[in-house]
Amino acid sequence: MIYLSSNDIKRVFTMRDAIDANKNAFIRQSKKECISPLRTKFDVERGQGEALFMPAHIKGLDATGIKIVSVFPNNANKGKPVVPATMVLLDDETGEVTAIIDGTELTRMRTGALSGAATEILANENSKVGALFGTGGQAASQLEAMLEARALEEVRIYDIDDDRILAFINEQQDMASARGARLVPSKSAQMAVEDADVITAVTTSRKPVFPGSMVKQGAHINGIGAFTPEMAELDPQLLLRADKIFIDNREAVLSEAGDIIQPVNSGIFSVDRIAGELGEVLEGSLEGRKTESDITVFKSVGFAALDVVAAQQIVTKAREQGIGLLLDS
């Protein structure tokens, strides 16, 4: 059995690796090769958070595992991760645990890679201006993934807390500069989204974080943060304007994504307008962006197969490079 820390993961697994792993998982999901039940979750009253359990098995890949992840917003005030997690992989032949992985870093990278993969597949090639809504624990990987997917020259950062915007920019500017991008603080959601080519929202907001009416023709939008029926960071007006809407996992999105569930329940949006899963675009059975003027939307809530595929690749790379702590089983 091997244990891999956050630093171990960073040594062997890049954002490019994470994006490619997500694409692999998307394809396998759309080909029905994944057993990936909806996450089991419940409230933890003492910490005012949620505990989530996400198992998956990928047929033919010798990959089975479960991620135990929590969402405890008050951890931010304690200097602890808001989304702590642990990933466990099993041997498909014996059922024994073969690896324990820092799930917080795994989640950070594979969640960022969601928008990276979608941007790479759906955004216009000549995209130059990005907008990022939210500066929480997932924001840095979202920014890195956007810059990996497209050669953005400017990324506007917006958050409801001005101090967090400036702190985030100070922390991430070197990374962005190395990729040829400047980070710009936005005083309003409208300023952030105006004329933006790629827009990523990674918040837990229960109301839209930017006006859908201001999104320009040709833009691509990633809705990553909202993962419960109560959360909804995307404006229904955006969904109505979009030429193509793609999702990561139909069952999960229709059960958990408030961005979709709320406008459906209110009668202003129909699930028939969802083009399909991103994996269907990757495997060639579904057309992605059709014209440069299309508005494309990708909505994700995440699913366990993404974690299992990424975790297996991390473990393989770590063993090849002799990285990690071997534990007695």
> Any idea what the CATH number is for the domain that residue 162 is in?
3.40.50.720
Q: Are residues 129 and 270 in the same domain?
A: yes
Q: Are residues 247 and 313 in the same domain?
A: no
**Which portions of the chain are predicted below pLDDT 70?**
329
Q: Are residues 82 and 134 in the same domain?
A: no
Token pair recorded at residue 306: 């993404």
The residues pairing with 61 across neighbouring beta strands, listed in sequence order, are: none
Model pLDDT, residue 85 = 94
- Distances 23 to 17, 86, 120, 246, 307 between C-alpha atoms, Å: 10, 22, 10, 14, 12
Asked if residues 118 and 220 have their Cβ atoms less than 8 Å apart, the reply is yes
**Angle at 297 (CA atoms; ends 306, 196), nearest 5 degrees:** 115
| Token pair 């699913």: residue | 303
Model pLDDT, residue 260 = 98
Model pLDDT, residue 286 = 96
Q: Are residues 212 and 63 in the same domain?
A: no
Establish if 174 belongs to a structural domain: yes
Q: Are residues 176 and 46 in the same domain?
A: no
Residue 57 sits in which domain range?
2-107+305-326
Provide the 8-state DSSP code for 60. T
Taking the mean position of all CA atoms in its chain, how far away is CA 143? 11
- What is the DSSP annotation of 141-152? HHHHHHHHHS--
- Distances 125 to 136, 152, 198, 223, 292 between C-alpha atoms, Å: 28, 10, 11, 20, 9
Model pLDDT, residue 71 = 86
Asked if residues 202 and 133 have their Cβ atoms less than 8 Å apart, the reply is yes
Q: In whole angstroms, how large is the CA radius of gyration of the chain?
A: 19
Q: Are residues 287 and 168 in the same domain?
A: yes
Q: Are residues 297 and 312 in the same domain?
A: no
Establish if 112 belongs to a structural domain: no
Model pLDDT, residue 80 = 87
Residue 50 one-letter amino acid: E
Q: pTM of the full predicted structure?
A: 0.93
Q: What total number of domains does the chain contain?
A: 2
Q: Are residues 198 and 246 in the same domain?
A: yes
Model pLDDT, residue 329 = 62
Provide the 8-state DSSP code for 39. P
**Which DSSP helix (H) or strand (E) runs through 253?**
helix 250-256
- Terminal-to-terminal C-alpha distance of the chain: 6
Report the half-sphere exposure of 179 (CA within 13 A, side-chain side).
21
What is the domain-level CATH number for residue 95? 3.30.1780.10
Token pair recorded at residue 126: 């000549």
Query: CA 227 to CA 252: how far, in whole Å?
Result: 9
Q: Are residues 88 and 136 in the same domain?
A: no
For the chain, counts of helices (H) and of strands (E): 11, 16
Model pLDDT, residue 61 = 87
pLDDT one-digit tens code per residue, 219-241: 999 999 998 999 999 999 999 99
Model pLDDT, residue 233 = 97
Model pLDDT, residue 162 = 94
Query: CA 234 to CA 206: how far, in whole Å?
Result: 9
